[in-house]
Amino acid sequence: MVEKIIILPNESFSLIPECLLNFNFKKIDNWLEKKEQIGRYILDLLYDCGAIKTWFQDKKEGWILNSRLWSPVYISLRDISSKKKGASILEAIGKALSLLIINEIFKFDKILGLATTGTQIATVITLFSKIPSLYNRKIVNGREIKDFEEFIKTYGEHRLIEGEFEDGETIILVDDLVTKFKSAHLVKKQLIYEAKQRNKKVICNDVVVLIDREQGAKEKAKELGYNLYSLIPFKSKLHWLEDKFDPQEYSIIRDYFKDYSKFQEKDKIKEIISLARLKK
């Protein structure tokens, strides 16, 4: 059965990539070309719904990311489902990442959504691809492997991973965004520990994200033995949003992604903050 994507208000069929409009979970010709079309389409949706914020328009002091980096741009999909157009956006994301999985990953049995936003995304992937999905329980204040090791000492009998999996299955980790790759590696540790508790072994070497900020995650993933797949490499495709930014705003964000280390000093951050023109 062909799924029908929900049309956003004031949006024509011609703007929606054909492989989303007439979705089928199968390998498609010219995938890389179509991946570009899908990525640009979804990035536009995310910007227009307010999921992509900048210091220039939204929060003059910028953001400190989980990676401890200061950033003039912030991407958050946590509240996508609550937005007026949220169902349409999640549908597009679910179909897009389903196509990425079938076209780029050789073997898989299940997916595991990283709490919390990755869980939403894994669920919509399941709806359109029929790949069964699991999710992890979030470790409070858990950002490092040592946090997990301390946490597990007092966790008791509760499951770290919710959902069924079988011995020998291959499981893909799914998340909304990656910066430094800490979260995915930590969740794999949870999965391996949970599998051991169930007297099973699983294979988990692939990670799929909607957006890679391209700030070291791919290199770290390779170092740790993972394959990282993303629909939107944000740094490389920032120009897709150029016409939505003020010229000065775009220039600062472009330079930040070229070398974010130059934007971590207090004086530099103060200088950038002085340029902000917040939305009224």
pLDDT in tens, 36-47: 999 999 999 999
Give me the pLDDT at residue 34, please: 97
Give percent of the chain with pLDDT exceeding 70.
Answer: 88
- Contact between 207 and 226 (Cβ < 8 Å): yes
Q: What size, in residues, is the chain?
A: 280
In this structure, the number of other CB atoms found within 10 A of the CB of residue 140 comes to 7
Counting Cα atoms < 13 Å in the Cβ hemisphere of 79 gives 7
Give me the pLDDT at residue 91, please: 96
Q: What are phi and psi of 147, to 5 degrees?
A: -65, -40
- 71-79 mean pLDDT: 96
Q: What are phi and psi of 184, to 5 degrees?
A: -60, -45
Give percent of the chain with pLDDT exceeding 90.
Answer: 81
Give me the pLDDT at residue 279, please: 75
The CA distance from 256 to 213, in Å, is 11
The CA distance from 135 to 115, in Å, is 7
What are the tokens at 32? 């890389």
Give me the pLDDT at residue 214, please: 96
Amino acid code (one letter) for 184: A
Domain ranges of the chain: 3-273
Q: Is the pLDDT of residue 239 over 90?
A: yes
Give me the pLDDT at residue 143, please: 57
Give me the pLDDT at residue 277, please: 87
CB-based burial, 98-112: b 16+ in 10 Å, e otherwise: bbbbbeeeeebebbb
Which are the contacts of 125, defined by CB distance < 8 A and separation ≥ 6?
94, 97, 98, 101, 111, 131, 133, 174
What are the E-state strand segments in the chain? 3-4, 22-23, 52-54, 63-64, 70-71, 73-75, 110-113, 133-136, 161-162, 170-178, 203-212, 227-233
- 107-123 mean pLDDT: 97
- 183-212 mean pLDDT: 95
Q: Is the pLDDT of residue 48 over 70?
A: yes
Residues 80-95 pLDDT 10s: 999 999 999 999 999 9
Give me the pLDDT at residue 66, please: 84
Per the prediction, the chain carries an average pLDDT of: 90
Residues 124-150 pLDDT 10s: 999 999 999 999 988 766 556 566 666
Give me the pLDDT at residue 2, please: 41
Task: Report which of residues 9 and 213 the model is more confident about.
Answer: 213
Q: What topology does CATH give the domain 3-273?
A: Rossmann fold (3.40.50)
Name the band, by pLDDT with cuts 50, 70 and 90, for residue 157.
low
Give me the pLDDT at residue 138, please: 81
Name the band, by pLDDT with cuts 50, 70 and 90, for residue 9.
very low
Task: Report which of residues 182 and 58 the model is more confident about.
Answer: 58
- 48-65 mean pLDDT: 96
In this structure, the number of other CB atoms found within 10 A of the CB of residue 236 comes to 12
Give me the pLDDT at residue 146, please: 65
DSSP 234: T
